[in-house]
Structure 1
Amino acid sequence: MYEKTYPNRRYHKTLEFLHKSIPPPANILDLGVENPFSKIMQKENYQVTNTGGEDLDLDTTAVKSKNFEVVTAFEIFEHLVAPFNILKDIQAPKLVATVPLKLWFSEAYRSKTDMRDRHFHEFEDWQFDWLLEKAGWKIKDSAKWTNPVKKIGIRPVLRNFTPRYYAVYAERT
């Protein structure tokens, strides 16, 4: 399987959570363009279709299809101005998502060169839970994990034991 060290640790933990929640094979709509993790899911015998790069704040057409068992969204919702809209419109009965958690010792991520590569939201776990429930989802399972980095300093030390990622498996109510 994938090694448990940075940078693949996140992939390992995400895949572990996905396997626990949705065993392969499953027909998945993965929000976002094809990426290294969607390729990993395909290698793990999931049938994966990615969205085409459309602005998911404005165009939720892709999630309105009833052809998918599951929608996955790995580090997507923090990039949306209004994630409630797409969560509400998802027609698949199951959702597996991860979001970065808000860290008290680090500002939200913001690329200075790419307007699309910014975090409009970094959630606390209760905020993401509330958003999902308000959009009509019932949380069945969740997990958190850290994101250790091999750097020197106070923040890298804090990253060793402060959860950075939050994963949720939810079903439509």
Structure 2
Amino acid sequence: MYEKTFPNKRFKITLEFLEKHLSKSDTILDLGVENPFSKIMSQNGYKVKNTKGEDLDFDQSNLINENYTAVTAFEIFEHLLNPFTVLQNIKSDKILISIPLRLWFSPAYQSKTDKWDRHYHEFEDWQLDWLLEKTGWKIMDRIKFTHPVKKIGFRPLLRFFTPRYYLVYAERK
């Protein structure tokens, strides 16, 4: 069913995880500008509002001023220098986060042309777990999954076996 609807495995797994933990009555603040997955959430009956593309390291006014019951942060925290204060300033009791995991065979992603599209953090799962715990969140569910690429080579082969993404549902303690 999903194979024809979604562009990739990551969106399918993420939507299934979201449906497991958030109800359609939740109002979601999705960190980051509107994106293909926020559109998928809306198309599947979720009420989603995105942040405006502001630098969340400096401007967390949307976290404080918007009305929402849950936050989603899909591949956002690796772009922030300070995800700690973002997690502290979330006013809901529910959060879904996905991050790309640090891969031992691949360096951190760095764009030479786009100041926003670089990874300041490439987390290991335990690092995100500690960050959540230190900011008052309790992990209720988590999954890791691979993201194979359609290329030939040693790294693409490793991507079939090595988890690339970590997806977490947490609630405020």
* TM-score category (smaller protein): over 0.9
TM-score by structure 1 length?
A: 0.95
Q: Would you say 1:12 and 2:16 are equivalent positions?
A: no
Query: Percent of aligned pairs with the same residue?
Result: 64
What is the CA-CA distance between 1:135 and the residue it aligns to?
0.8
Structure 1 Cα separation of the partners of residues 5 and 162 of structure 2:
16
> Aligned in 2, Cα 1:113/1:98: closer, same or farther, shift over 3 Å?
same
Deviating beyond 3 angstroms after TM superposition, the runs of 4 or more aligned structure 1 residues are: 4-7
The aligned counterpart of 2:105 is 105
The aligned counterpart of 1:154 is 154
The aligned counterpart of 1:120 is 120
The aligned counterpart of 1:50 is 50
The aligned counterpart of 2:79 is 79
Residue 156 of structure 2 aligns with an amino acid whose one-letter code is P
Structure 2 Cα separation of the partners of residues 63 and 51 of structure 1:
9
What is the CA-CA distance between 1:3 and the residue it aligns to?
1.4
What is the CA-CA distance between 1:22 and the residue it aligns to?
1.1
What is the CA-CA distance between 1:73 and the residue it aligns to?
0.3
Deviates more, 1:5-14 or 1:68-77: 5-14
What is the CA-CA distance between 1:63 and the residue it aligns to?
1.1
How many correspondences in the alignment?
Answer: 173
The answer to whether the 8 Å contact 1:143/1:168 transfers is yes
The aligned counterpart of 2:129 is 129
The answer to whether the 8 Å contact 1:6/1:149 transfers is no
Structure 2 Cα separation of the partners of residues 154 and 72 of structure 1:
33
The answer to whether the 8 Å contact 1:6/1:147 transfers is no
Query: Where do residues 26-41 of structure 1 align in structure 2 (5 Å cutoff)?
Result: 26-41=26-41
